A and B are shown apart, each in its own frame.
Chain A
Amino acid sequence: MERHLGNIETAWVLAGRFAPLTVAGVLRLGGAPPLERVRASLDALQQHHRLLQARITRRRGRYSFEVTADVPPIPLDVVERRDADHWREVATAVLNQRLDLETGPLLRCVYLHDDAGTDGDIVFAYDHSVLDATSAAHVYEQFLTWCQGPPPAAPSVAPPLPPPIDDLLPARLRGRARIAPKTAFLRRQVADELAFRRATRGRSDAVRPEARCHLVTRSLDSTATDELVRRARRHRLTTNSVIGAAMLVAAHRHLRGDAGRLPMRAITFADLRSDLEPPPAPDVLGCYISMMRFTVPVGPDDDLWTAAAAYQAQVRAAWEHDEHLLSATVAKQLVRMSTTIKRMRIGSTAHSYAGGLGLAERYGEIELIDVHGFISNNRVGPLVTAFVKINRGALSWDFVFLDTDFDEATAERIADTVCDGLVEAAA
């Protein structure tokens, strides 16, 4: 069984050839499941999802998911858990390593547990082409459910490989109908690029030599989270816009100092599932997202709500032009260009906001204490990147910084600036 990768799936693979590009998903557990249950649950996951039985091959210049009998079981490494922060070291190692896509499978697992068997941490390493945040949450839900007892039998007929975004675009963007809006989109992108370069001449963010990812986590408590959401709605702003603006304002403060008002590049990721025809169900694994990039002018004294309104105006305009869908059809070309030219960073900030992940607090004897998601960054990637979600009512950030951009203390300060700015705005 085989199918060609879609445009954005190929973009992930190409970016991963340039530098390690791996997602680290972390489940922090109280009441660690026995090792044999973890193994059985991983086996069941692989039996139920074709993408977890696949590897990625390249023939005649095209990449494909290929399901063959020689793709190994999901690898499970067992590590003695040294302390409650040990997972950070393991997740950091995951971010700085390439997965072996050609051998497969495209998901691996590290289980950190101690002899007492009280608490444990699961670190999944996977390729972004097989799981977006919706799919990852579904995999975590099934994994934890099946860790409680005997997992279900293998399905008699395994589902087919899920289709790529390219095959599910709305009718108005299929075939020849796509040409005019795509041309207009590319024209706007070029105009924005030229305007950005004129306005930032001599001030573009430096491309550093090979760098290593390191991670920083932050969270607001649930009261501050609710207050922020409440205030945002009064301003008619989405939580995503406010988070994106807070990261831009913090980046301006730390990167631009007193340079005054400057255009800054922000990247946000859009969940396309409900826009596709037919919409893939949440239990269909895949990467149904796109990367959207905007230029937002930011000044040193901007108040968060003003910056968020400017940010949202950009997102809204792009959405109305179908750019969230169109950008998924040119992602491969953009990655190829940025990793070939290697002269400038693709943005100052990037974030992916998943909202609530919909996971339970308990799965039988297992308590799900926290969930994290980190994505590798590289030297042409943005300077400040984070996966943001709500767990147990609390908004939290999983930042990834490069050690060549910021030392650990500076990275911690930037993360603090993002959160402090939001707390202050919500107060």
Chain B
Amino acid sequence: MSAGAPDPAASVRLAVELQLGRETVSLDDRLAEDLDADSFDLMNIAAVLEEDHGIFITEEAAGAVRTVGDLVALVTSLVGS
């Protein structure tokens, strides 16, 4: 990660918290079942993370994400690739 680039874990948490109006989220939280994220929320979260990190999250990769931790792992892998 280059100096000044956002930390994936922090930016995922922030994107999720802001989009879903939550004060705090944990890595184990399931986006849909625990945090009530719908497909519009997930699309907005993906769009924000793509803009923040200059990455692209494919539809299949996005569909495989279940928890906040899954999303952190996905963004970390894309930033590092």
In the assembled complex, the Cα of A175 lies from the Cα of B43 at a distance in Å of 33
In the assembled complex, the Cα of A279 lies from the Cα of B33 at a distance in Å of 7
Find out whether the CB atom of B64 lies under 8 angstroms from the CB atom of A225. Answer: no
Task: Tell me the smallest distance from the CB of B4 to a CB of chain A, in Å.
Answer: 24
7 contacts between A and B (CB under 8 A): A226-B56, A230-B50, A234-B47, A237-B43, A316-B40, A356-B60, A393-B60
The 9 A-B residue pairs with the shortest CB-CB distance in the complex, in nearest-first order: A356-B60, A274-B32, A233-B47, A355-B63, A356-B63, A238-B43, A279-B33, A229-B59, A274-B33
B contact residues, total (Cβ < 8 Å): 18
Interface size class of chain A, counting residues whose CB lies under 8 Å from the partner chain: 20 to 34
**A229 cross-chain contacts in B, Cβ below 8 A:** 58-59
**A233 cross-chain contacts in B, Cβ below 8 A:** 43, 46-47, 50
What 1/0 mask marks residues of chain A from 376 to 403 whose CB sits below 8 Å from any chain B CB? Answer: 0000000000000010010100000000
In the assembled complex, the Cα of A355 lies from the Cα of B58 at a distance in Å of 10
Which B residues, 27 to 74, have Cβ-Cβ distances below 8 Å to chain A?
Answer: 30, 32-33, 38-40, 43-44, 46-47, 50, 56, 58-60, 62-64
Find out whether the CB atom of B40 lies under 8 angstroms from the CB atom of A390. Answer: no
In the assembled complex, the Cα of A319 lies from the Cα of B63 at a distance in Å of 19
> A238 with B40: in contact, given A226-B58, A356-B64, A390-B60 (CB under 8 Å)?
yes
Instruction: Pick the contact of B40: A230, A319, A355 (CB < 8 A).
Output: A319
Instruction: Pick the contact of A238: B32, B39, B56 (CB < 8 A).
Output: B39
Which residues of chain A have a CB within 8 Å of any CB of chain B?
Answer: 225-226, 229-230, 232-234, 236-240, 274-275, 279, 312, 316, 319, 355-356, 358, 390, 393, 395
**A239 cross-chain contacts in B, Cβ below 8 A:** 59
In the assembled complex, the Cα of A275 lies from the Cα of B56 at a distance in Å of 27
**A355 cross-chain contacts in B, Cβ below 8 A:** 59-60, 62-63
Which residues of chain B have a CB within 8 Å of any CB of chain A?
Answer: 30, 32-33, 38-40, 43-44, 46-47, 50, 56, 58-60, 62-64
> A236 with B33: in contact, given A230-B56, A356-B64 (CB under 8 Å)?
no
Find out whether the CB atom of A240 lies under 8 angstroms from the CB atom of B59. Answer: no
In the assembled complex, the Cα of A230 lies from the Cα of B55 at a distance in Å of 10
Find out whether the CB atom of A319 lies under 8 angstroms from the CB atom of B59. Answer: no
**A274 cross-chain contacts in B, Cβ below 8 A:** 30, 32-33
**A230 cross-chain contacts in B, Cβ below 8 A:** 50, 56
In the assembled complex, the Cα of A407 lies from the Cα of B73 at a distance in Å of 49
